[in-house]
Amino acid sequence: MQIYLPIAEVVVNAFLLFGIGGVVGLLSGMFGVGGGFLITPALFFIGIPPSVAVSTGAVQVVASSVSAVMVHLKRRTVDFRMGTVMLLSGFVGSTIGIYVFKELERLGHINLFVEVCYTVLMGLIGTMMFQESLRAILRNRRAGKSGAPPRVIKRSHTKAQKWPLKVKFRTSGLYISILPPIMIGIVIGFLTTTLGVGGGFILVPAMIYLLGMNTKVVVGTSLYQVIFISCYAVMAHVLTSQSVDLVLAVLLTLGGVIGAQFGAMIGLKLKAEQLRILLAILVLLVGIKIFFGLVLEPADLFNLDIPGHAQ
């Protein structure tokens, strides 16, 4: 069924959008990421103008994160204090991001910026997560063969514990300086408005590896933060560029929330390190795909830039 999108001003297949939303929702439910890093490139690919894809992707991120966070609220695996600190600093980063986005759009470099950021971030995070989770899987396998109980990893003493302004984050099991969470929050907020991602795929590893948070609360806390920061991004895009397409958002959301529920069910059956290695592979694949887009000669060197309606 073909449908006309009123803001994007393109015609697309409604079932295709429903399917994209569903697949991304499934992955976001499994890994506890909003799925923005998958949905924005997918929308680019089917011909949605980048500005519409970035801001409408944020609506879908809100929906699938709300759908997934419910499970975590019931299990009390959300660290509200940590989430709120990151959230407030995230608003600062988002506001800076909006101005950077507008300036780069004016100069015609927004797509390049988005693609380079994706490649670098995904390459780094994907590789780090892949190594770490592979090590964890091998360790568990060895431990299983020898019959010995799995080694309990002592939480590493990161530099964050030596900084001033220490705050107790009871749910996360941390007593650390408030500064690293604020810095992470600002970076995530910045990426939300410039890249149209919720930041979950960066936030989850940052919470585990940089802050040393209890892994049980990482996914829930990340989702809680992502919901609010994406709401802020949606409002900012709506007010500054009127680029949110509600028809597109509704179709993606329908698929997304259903997919997220199935994803959460699958996620519960897999081991944490298995999930992490799968997420790492996914992040690396998307990163490699975008990397090739940057270095291979494009089919058409010319592109049109219609002010107020980026193409």
Partner 1 sequence: MTGTIAPHPARRPALARRLILAAALGLMIVAPAASAEKLVSGVSQDQVAINATFNGSDILVYGAVARDAPLAKGVTQDVIITLEGPAQPLIVRKKARQFGIWANKESVPIDSAPSFYSVSTSVPLRQALTHTEDLRYKVSIPLAIREIGGTATAKHPQTFVNALIDIRTKAGQYEMNEDAVKFRDDTLFSTRVKLPANLTEGTYKLRIFLTQGGQVVDMSHSEITVQKTGVERWLFNLSAKQPALYGILSLFIAVAAGWLASAAFQLLRR
**Binding site residues, partner 1, CB under 8 A:** 1-4, 6-7, 9-11, 59-60, 62-68, 70-71, 108-109, 111-112, 116, 231, 234-235, 238-239, 242, 244, 246-247, 249-250, 253-254, 257-258, 260-261, 294-298, 300-307
Backbone angles phi, psi at 168, to 5 degrees: -90, 125
| DSSP designation for 169 | E
In the complex, the smallest distance separating the C-beta of residue 139 from partner 1, rounded to whole angstroms, is: 34
In the block, residue with structure tokens 């409002």 = 235
Residue 217: other Cβ atoms inside 10 A: 24
Nearest to 17 by CA among 54, 57, 68: 57
User: Residue 128: phi, psi to the nearest 5?
Assistant: -60, -50
- Residue linked to tokens 């259903």: 258
Distances (CA, A) of 311 to 55, 200, 214, 241, 303: 14, 27, 43, 14, 8
- Taking the least distance from each CB to partner 1, the nearer of 164 and 308 is 308
Which residues lie below 8 Å from residue 237, measured CB to CB, with a gap of 6+? 51, 54, 55, 58, 193, 243, 244
Q: What phi and psi values does residue 291 have, to the nearest 5 degrees?
A: -60, -45
Nearer to partner 1, 129 or 258 (CB): 258
Q: Smaller CB distance to partner 1: residue 125 or 234?
A: 234
Query: Under a CB-based contact definition with an 8 Å cutoff, are residues 35 and 25 in contact?
Result: yes
Which one, of 240, 234, 230, 243, lies nearest residue 189 by Cα?
230
Is the Cβ of residue 180 or residue 196 nearer to partner 1 in the bound state? 196
Listed residue (31, 22, 6) closest to 63, CA to CA: 22
Nearest approach, Cβ of 246 to partner 1 (angstroms)?
5
- Residue with smaller CB distance to partner 1, 11 or 143: 11
* Shortest reach from residue 183's CB to partner 1, in Å: 27
Nearer to partner 1, 6 or 144 (CB): 6
Residue type, 298: P
Choice between 179 and 238, CB closer to partner 1: 238
